[in-house]
């Protein structure tokens, strides 16, 4: 049984079969998404074309990337697939190549998962190399603090889990667009520093 439907093929066929107009189809998808019966985002073409009918498919796919490598990763498997350096970079530095993402997601709906992770700020572009940055995979913690022009200090209050990683994704996206120096950032599990161009 399917985990998702393709809008341009499966959903259109169903809509035609029961006599829904395009507008009625869109309204039905929006309603079903709001009620939690399906998962359907429309921000990009890749997201728009996939209607998830089994959420476990999403969770399983994302968990192939965001996981504890000391428990859930067999390095031999990746080396045999020619991805030894890629898996090391992914789970030590949080940098994912498209090759390793395609391998982990078994070449199924890669653009959908990339767009999903980017839109939910679980991942961001990493420079112009075509790689991606996933801050939740970082392990090292920063121990000392320098002087900065902008500091977000959550030491006195509650910080929702995952918020820091999402802020880092936003900053990394800023760097990837050339609006900050891409040779001047430092990122740890609990600390990040980005420098803007002067002027």
| CB neighbour list of residue 27: distance below 8 Å, 6 or more residues apart | none
Q: For residue 148, what pLDDT is reported?
A: 46
Confidence tier at 82 by pLDDT (50, 70, 90): very high
Distance of alpha carbon 4 from alpha carbon 12, whole angstroms: 14
CA-to-CA distance for 19 and 182, rounded, in angstroms?
Answer: 53
Pairing of strands 131-133, 192-193: unpaired
pLDDT digits (tens, 9 = 90+) for 141-192: 655 555 444 556 666 666 677 777 788 877 777 777 765 555 566 777 777 7
Which pTM was predicted?
Answer: 0.78
């Amino acid at each position: 049984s399917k985990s998702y439907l393709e809008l341009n093929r499966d959903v259109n066929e169903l809509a035609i079969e029961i006599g829904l107009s395009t507008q009625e189809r869109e309204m039905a998808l929006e309603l079903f998404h709001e009620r939690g019966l399906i998962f359907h985002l429309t921000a990009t073409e890749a997201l728009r074309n996939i209607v998830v009918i089994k959420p476990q498919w999403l969770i399983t796919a994302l968990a192939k990337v965001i996981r504890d490598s000391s428990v859930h990763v067999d390095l031999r498997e990746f080396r045999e697939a020619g991805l030894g350096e890629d898996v090391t970079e992914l789970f030590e530095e949080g940098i994912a190549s498209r090759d390793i993402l395609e391998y982990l997601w078994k070449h199924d709906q890669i653009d959908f998962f990339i767009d999903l992770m980017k839109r939910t700020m679980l991942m961001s572009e990493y420079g112009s190399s075509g790689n991606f940055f996933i801050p939740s995979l970082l392990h090292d913690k920063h121990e000392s603090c320098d002087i900065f022009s902008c500091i977000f200090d959550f030491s006195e209050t509650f910080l929702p889990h995952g918020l820091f990683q999402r802020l880092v994704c936003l900053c990394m996206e800023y760097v990837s667009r050339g609006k900050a120096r891409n040779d001047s950032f430092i990122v740890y599990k609990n600390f990040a520093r980005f420098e803007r161009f002067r002027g």
